[in-house]
Amino acid sequence: MYIKKLMLLNYRNYRKLDIELGPAVNVFIGNNAQGKTNILESIYYCGFARSHRNSKDRELVNWNENNAYVSVGVSKDRLDKKIDINILKDGKKSIRVNSIKITKIGELIGVFNVVMFSPEDLKIVKESPGIRRRFIDMELCQLSNRYYYNLVQYNKVLNERNLVLKNRKIDEFILDVYDEQLSSFAEQIIKDRINYINNLNNHGKAIHKDITSGKEDIEFKYVSSVKDLENIKISMKEGLLKSRSKDVERRITSIGPHRDDFIILINNIDAKSYGSQGQQRTAVLTIKFASLNIIKDITKEYPVLLLDDVLSELDFTRKAYILNSIHGIQTLITCTGIEDISKYIKENAKVFKVKDGSVKV
């Protein structure tokens, strides 16, 4: 899988951009605040209909304009895809895949697979469980329509249950109904997450050893608020019933996959609390490259890899690992200079110069 063409109109600082990308390495060079990240963001947006920077959709539209347009032409083994997204100033958007308008985001996710590695990804290791849940949910959604459906339905029922908990008069029967529904969707979500964590371990352990020259072992462990992961549905129903009085008091649901997390252990030590900055960066690198391989295993094609200004943050060993591991994967790299990576770039690479919202080959 690779992008053949990218077109932007009134997207952030780009009035108009129309470029053809190479199937291998594409390097975007320029000073800071020139628009390099905006290019990668627009490609990520075509995969998920959202920015990796948590920006609101209206912020993607050039401030002098009423709408922005993003289009990518994607070459795939089975059927080429063309994704067109029109973003209005009020945040609404219209999405077409091969000229067919889609009405649900779930119809877009998975059409075009992408893995992005940016400096912000250090949050996966360092910050709250919500960041890690978002990561695993985004990865699973682009691999499974079933997972996306279960997650949407779970969140819908969860919100309805929480509304009931906020009422002064609690309807126990309705809570029983919601508990049954929540437990059913939770069972599928947690099973898929655990399977994904197992795949992270299967691929990540070898990758991490390669990056650290065998000095470190990495392990990912799923941590659930549901006690018995062998009998998830039953255990969750029992837990919801047991915690009902507490939920009523706090007016929020305290058990379920929306409370779960996964931990990252390096040499059996929690990387979040005790890992060095270098170890945390390496853990993120391991996660991203393991994700590439998981997507390849399931879809039979590598996704597009986006590397947003991460090489400058890494030491020589980790930088070399990345640049030696991207053969056969379309990779878009942003950086301020080519000197550090020129010896790794092959003849079929394309280099673009970015300045003030314009791109030149």
35 annotated as a binding-site residue? yes
**119-122 CB contacts, 8 Å cutoff, 24+ apart:** 119/308, 119/309, 119/310, 119/313, 120/52, 120/53, 121/284, 121/288, 122/280, 122/281, 122/284
Sign for the pseudo-dihedral over CA of 291, 295, 301, 305: negative
214 annotated as a binding-site residue? no
The one-character DSSP state at 201 is H
355 annotated as a binding-site residue? no
| Cα(356)–Cα(219) distance, integer angstroms | 43
31 annotated as a binding-site residue? yes
**Residue 228 CB: number of other CB atoms within 10 A?**
13
What's the gap between Cα 353 and its chain centre? 27
Tokens of 83: 């994704």
- Using DSSP, state whether 217 is helix, strand or coil: coil
| Cα(169)–Cα(221) distance, integer angstroms | 40
30 annotated as a binding-site residue? yes
DSSP string for 103-140:
SSGGGTTTTS-EEEE-GGGGHHHHS-HHHHHHHHHHHH
Helices (H), 212-304: 232-242, 244-250, 271-274, 277-299
Token pair 């129903």: residue: 237
181 annotated as a binding-site residue? no
What's the gap between Cα 9 and its chain centre? 25
77-113 burial, b if ≥16 CB within 10 A, otherwise e?
eeeebebbbebebeeebebebeeeeeeeebbbbbbbb
Cα-based angle 216, 343, 325 (whole degrees, multiple of 5) = 40
299 annotated as a binding-site residue? no
32 annotated as a binding-site residue? yes
Longest dimension (CA), the chain: 70
Binding site: what residues are annotated? 30-37
Binding site for ATP: what residues are annotated? 30-37
